[in-house]
Amino acid sequence: MKWIFIAGLIVFTPAAAAFLRSHRRYLPHACFLMGLAIFFQGGFLSVSPIFWDWPGPVQGIQVGVVDALAVALIVSTNPVRIPLAFKLAVAVLGLAILISSFDARQLMPVGFYTWQLIRDALVFLAIARGSAHSERAPWALVAGLGTALAIESVWVVRQFAGGDHEPGGSLGHRNILGMTTHFAVMPAFALFLGGYRSRSAAVLLLCGAIIILLGGSRATLGLFATGLGLVAFLSMRSRMTGRKGAVAAAAGFCILCAAPVMLWSIERRSQAELQSSDTERGAFIDAARMIIADHPLGIGANQYVIVANIGGYSDRAGVPWDYADRSAPVHNSYYLVTAELGLVGLLGLLSIFGSVIWIGLRGARQNRAPTTDLLAGLVAATIVLMVHIAFEWVFELAVVQFLTAAAFGAIIGIAAPARPRRAPRPRPVSVAADAGMSYG
């Protein structure tokens, strides 16, 4: 069945590219579909031609509808001027993957990790080009993400009503779903502040609140409130209006009133469970620190779980001996990246985040409303993500990386204009030809 699916993708991709090339007005529709498909590509819209039951975040080579749409968008649009700072940051990360692979116990999982990054690059380029060519494309992307979030909120409510007190929607875990909400909620609140598509934005905020409250993730709850405040600050920094001040004050008041509900969401987990979670996180970090001390250049991408167990690091750090703990990476993406890709990899990751935030803030000063508000929401989502991944390892999952790549692409696509098509050079005319023409 999977080969039939792959054959369908092979037929669909050039057909979609040809259609978009001749009908540019449908570029936003493709971006909408990408935003919607990212949430559901893991179980419904992708297959694995090669699959390994590997104890790491990337377990094979996947292809899916998101990849097909990305390639179609890239082929049907012109290149975008990507700032040099971002290119250099990506190059540093690539260099770290290469260097760390020399110490990897298995090279195949490194290939899986690299393939996932290539897929991320396709999503990034597709959204960047689409956003540069059509002003509606980044709005359509956010609308697609918001539609997916609305579906997830219904899914979460059904799970919670059915007795699941830690619902994770279609993504399977509250921490994964909670992290993905930032990419839709923050831009939606930015648009609500500016008075653009207020009804749709209000619905998205409500759906995000339902997912976060029923999920009960402490980090997601805290960053939800903090992120809304950051969106308000960045939006008002770019352009202050009376509406923004009033909406920001009303949002702050609503968060204060919702404090008892937020506490209820957290207290559904017992104090012993919370304390056990914190202890386990500390043990994971101790193991990661020992790995980094022994391997400053990294142990290889997608290798953490194997090295932590075989190398005895988890034992010495006191990580509990059960399947869930011994098969999970350290619950901090910065430690995970440093352990696998070394200090060079950490530098590359931080440089990528820093360059995107700088590009977004600079672009917010150069654009007019409502683009500045949308950029404020996307930059805020990036900053909140940077904080959130300090508490989770799920940043290495495909769905989170796709969303990150899409957000980065929208920021750079808005801030960087598309390159115009090169005009054909006129053919030089010789003097003799001119003379011949003049005498003819």
**Residue at 360 is within a domain:** yes
**Residue at 234 is within a domain:** no
**Residue at 186 is within a domain:** no
Is the pLDDT reported for residue 162 higher than 80? yes
Which structural domain, as residue segments, surrounds residue 96? 2-154+279-415
CA dist list (Å): 78 to 24, 31, 83, 87, 88:
11, 16, 16, 18, 22
Given pLDDT bands bounded at 50, 70 and 90, which one contains residue 421?
very low
Residue 51 — φ and ψ, nearest 5°?
-130, 130
**Residue at 168 is within a domain:** no
pLDDT tens per residue across span 376-393? 999 999 999 999 999 989
Segment 100-109 mean pLDDT? 92
Q: Which residue's structure tokens are 């749409």?
A: 69
Give the separation between CA 50 and CA 385, rounded to whole angstroms: 30
Q: Is 124 exposed, middle or buried (0-12, 13-18, 19+ CB in 10 A)?
A: buried
Give the separation between CA 56 and CA 53, rounded to whole angstroms: 9
Query: How much is the mean pLDDT over the chain?
Result: 86
**Residue at 216 is within a domain:** no
Q: What is the pLDDT of residue 440?
A: 37
Tally of domains within the chain = 1
pTM over 0.85: yes
pLDDT tens per residue across span 187-246? 999 988 887 777 888 888 899 888 988 886 778 888 888 899 999 998 888 778 877 888
Q: What is the pLDDT of residue 253?
A: 79
The residue type of 172 is G
Q: Which residue's structure tokens are 């960047």?
A: 128
**Residue at 378 is within a domain:** yes
Torsion sign, CA atoms 153, 158, 161, 165: negative
**Residue at 256 is within a domain:** no
**Residue at 191 is within a domain:** no
